[in-house]
Amino acid sequence: MNILVANLGSTSFKFRLFRFGGAGDATLLAKGGYERVTDYGQAIDDCLAELKAGGHARSAADLHGVGFKTVLGKNLTGCVRADDRVIAALEGFKEIAPAHNPPYALGIQRFREKLPGVPLVALFETAFYQWVPEAATRYAVPPTWHEAGVRRYGFHGASHKFAAERSAELLGRADIAERVRQLYLAGPVPVAAGAKPLRVISCHFGGSSSVTGMRDGVAVGTSMGLSPQSGLPQNNRVGDLDSAAVPFVMKTLGLSLAEVERQMTKEGGLLGLSGVGNDMRDVRAAAAQGNARAQLALDVFIHSARHWIGAFLLELGGCDALVFTAGIGENNPDLRAAICANLTDLGISLDVTKNDTLRGTEGEISAAGARTRVFVIPANEELVVARETLRCISAAN
CB 304 within 8 A of CB 232: yes
Which residues contact residue 178 at a Cβ distance below 8 angstroms, ignoring those fewer than 6 apart? none
Largest CA distance in the chain: 62
Binding mask 198-217 for ligand AMP (x = CB under 6 A): --------xx----------
Q: Binding-site residue total for ligand AMP (CB under 6 A)?
A: 11
Give which of 103, 114, 105 is closest to 45, Cα–Cα.
Answer: 114
Of 87 and 297, the one with the shorter C-beta distance to ligand AMP is 297
Binding mask 23-42 for ligand AMP (x = CB under 6 A): --------------------
Binding mask 85-124 for ligand AMP (x = CB under 6 A): ----------------------------------------
268 belongs to the binding site for ligand AMP (CB under 6 A)? no
Contact window for ligand AMP (CB under 6 A) among 43-51, 179-187, 260-268, 278-286: 278-286
Which ranges of the chain would DSSP assign to H, the alpha helix?
Answer: 40-53, 84-92, 101-114, 143-148, 157-170, 174-186, 245-252, 257-266, 269-274, 280-288, 292-316, 326-331, 333-339, 352-357, 381-396
Residue 188 has φ and ψ, to the nearest 5°, of -75, 105
Sign of CA dihedral 165, 170, 176, 177: positive
Burial class (CB in 10 A: 0-12, 13-18, 19+), 345: exposed
Selected binder of ligand AMP within 58, 262, 281, 371 (CB under 6 A): 281
Question: Residue 115 and residue 123: Cα distance in Å, rounded?
Answer: 19
280 belongs to the binding site for ligand AMP (CB under 6 A)? yes
**C-beta of 108: minimal distance to ligand AMP in Å?**
23
Question: Residue 26 and residue 203: Cα distance in Å, rounded?
Answer: 25
Q: Is 295 helix (H, G, I), strand (E, B) or coil?
A: helix
239 belongs to the binding site for ligand AMP (CB under 6 A)? no
Of 385 and 393, the one with the shorter C-beta distance to ligand AMP is 385
326 belongs to the binding site for ligand AMP (CB under 6 A)? yes
Binding mask 166-195 for ligand AMP (x = CB under 6 A): ------------------------------
Selected binder of ligand AMP within 77, 331, 366, 372 (CB under 6 A): 331
With CB atoms as reference, the residue minimizing the distance to ligand AMP is: 327
* Residue 138 DSSP one-character state: -
Tell me which residues touch ligand AMP (CB under 6 A): 206-207, 235, 279-281, 326-328, 331-332
